[in-house]
């Protein structure tokens, strides 16, 4: 089942890190996102609208199946199909993976919607701090 959304969602609470470091290495976590709920149908349009254009069209999203509420295997957002996939891997519990063919893969830390402003700020700052981590490529 595909859900179509053409709403103008509220702005995403999103912080992105630099793509590479001074030594040329790339980070494993590309940023942090603080959704307002675990309803992916409601939250994803705002996240995608907040991403840089250089990331290209996100065509697939991978989330933790136990955390997120979603129906169907895809959504139309701004007339573009986005495939939704679930994983039960423990290492992906607090992340969302975004895939854009020809552009790459981006992993974002998901800050729990119930986090306080202070907790969210700390988690987002830690996720985007300048500490080199090995990053996987698509």
Please provide the average confidence, as pLDDT, over all residues in the chain: 81
| Cα gap 42→89, rounded to integer Å | 23
Report the chain's terminal Cα–Cα distance, integer Å.
26
Q: Enter the tokens of residue 67.
A: 């955390």
CB 50 within 8 A of CB 39: no
Q: Six-digit token pair at 65?
A: 């199946």
Residue 22, C-beta contacts closer than 8 angstroms, at least 6 positions apart? none
Query: 126: part of which helix (H) or strand (E)?
Result: helix 117-127
Enter the pTM of the model.
Answer: 0.79
Among all chains, which residue has been given the structure tokens 């992340």?
A: 95
| pLDDT of res. 35 | 96
Q: What is the pLDDT at residue 49?
A: 93
Confidence at 111, pLDDT banded by 50, 70, 90: very high
> Does residue 106 carry a pLDDT above 80?
yes
Tens-digit pLDDT profile for residues 3-59: 433 344 456 799 998 764 445 555 588 999 999 999 998 999 999 999 999 999 999
């Amino acid at each position: 089942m595909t859900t179509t959304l053409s709403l103008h969602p509220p702005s995403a609470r999103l912080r992105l890190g630099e793509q590479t470091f001074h030594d040329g290495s790339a980070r494993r976590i590309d940023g942090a996102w603080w959704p307002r709920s675990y309803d992916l149908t409601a939250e994803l349009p705002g996240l995608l609208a907040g991403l840089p254009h250089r990331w290209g069209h996100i065509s697939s999203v991978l989330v933790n199946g136990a955390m997120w509420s979603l129906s169907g295997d895809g959504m139309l957002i701004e007339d573009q199909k986005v495939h939704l996939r679930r994983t039960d891997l423990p290492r992906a519990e607090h992340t969302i993976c975004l895939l854009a063919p020809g552009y790459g893969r981006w992993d974002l830390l998901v800050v729990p919607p119930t986090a306080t402003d202070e907790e969210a700020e700390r988690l987002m700052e830690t996720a985007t701090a300048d500490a080199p981590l090995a990053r996987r490529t698509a």
